[in-house]
Amino acid sequence: MDTRLDLVFAALADPTRRAILTMLLEDDMAVTDVAEPFEMSLAAVSKHLAILTRAGLISQEKRGRVKWCKLEPDALKDASVWMQAFGQFEELDLDAFERFLDAELGQEPAR
């Protein structure tokens, strides 16, 4: 398995990181806003964001004094292609992925 795919699957293995991806499905968010719902330090959330960034699942950019996070859904395509090789998975459907993440986190589906 290539390194990029290893990074994507490792990033998705953590429930906090999956929750962050769910939040970013709605819109870009400032790092402080991403950190708000979690009962952990900003430094701990920043470590999760670094893992997601290294995996290519999100990008971060500075706008003025604020660092923003943006979902990069194309990073999931390689994982989807790899899973399709087993013939059991369909092409990546981001709406279905969002529903999966919402269900896993026990949230109401986004509208």
Indicate the pTM of the whole model.
0.75
In a domain? residue 99: yes
In a domain? residue 111: no
Q: Domain containing 24: what range?
A: 3-103
The domain total for the chain is 1
pLDDT, tens digit (0-9, with 9 covering 90-100), for 12-52: 999 999 999 999 998 999 999 999 999 999 999 999 999 99
pLDDT, tens digit (0-9, with 9 covering 90-100), for 81-102: 887 777 655 566 777 777 887 8
In a domain? residue 108: no
Burial of 92: CB neighbours in 10 Å, binned 0-12, 13-18, 19+: middle
Q: What is the CATH number of the domain that holds 39?
A: 1.10.10.10
Q: How far is CA 99 from CA 17, 46, 106, in A?
A: 16, 25, 10
